Amino acid sequence: MASKDQLTTTEYAVLGLLSDGERSGYDLAGLAARTIEDIWVPSRSQIYRVLPRLVRWGLAESREIEQQGRPDKALYRITDHGLDVLRAWVERVVEDPAGGVNVFFLKLFFAAVAPPEAAQAQLDAYRQVVERRLRELEDMERNLPADASVYDQIALRHGITRTRATLAWAHEAEAALQRAHAGAIKDMRKAL
């Protein structure tokens, strides 16, 4: 089990969802379904188990809302300490994260809580993983036995095509980050 000093990917993801504002567990499940479901798919019961731990560790706060004709509802919000912990997680680059490559996407999704360099660092690390995978697949293709089945060939081509498409996306994402960061710098200069 994780501790306050070593959160799980699910705990970080719930913190990230709370960084967008106060919500109930039910609301968090809906937000996850609308935003990060392709990256991280929590069950409502997972969210409800995580929230009290985050409160106990001082990373979130809760308050009860009285409802007419229904049980009271708990609303949760991230604390300043929770935001610091989330920010540190987004900034920390791990070449091979325990949660798999989807951790890079979660960190990119929540990167607004960190300096712009954090998103670029996560994207760079992810691109390195994808480039390494492409080299492996292309090496497999070069060394495919002459008697390889058509099924082996089409599966391998699928992997190569998909990996190349992911690299193209990474280049587009990098350009989008650079444009966004350049715009933010211009806005700061105008404010001075």
Query: Considering the entire predicted model, what is its pTM?
Result: 0.85
pLDDT at residue 41, rounded to an integer: 80
- Average pLDDT for 41-56: 92
10: tokens are 């699910």
Considering the domain architecture, whether residues 92 and 119 belong to the same structural domain is answered as: no
Asked whether the beta carbons of 122 and 108 are under 8 A apart, the reply is yes
Considering the domain architecture, whether residues 130 and 73 belong to the same structural domain is answered as: no
The domain in which residue 73 lies consists of 9-96
Which amino acid is it at 167? L
Asked whether the beta carbons of 54 and 11 are under 8 A apart, the reply is yes
- Count of domains observed in the chain: 2
Considering the domain architecture, whether residues 26 and 84 belong to the same structural domain is answered as: yes
Considering the domain architecture, whether residues 120 and 46 belong to the same structural domain is answered as: no
pLDDT in tens, 74-116: 999 999 999 999 999 999 999 888 888 899 999 999 999 999 9
Considering the domain architecture, whether residues 82 and 150 belong to the same structural domain is answered as: no
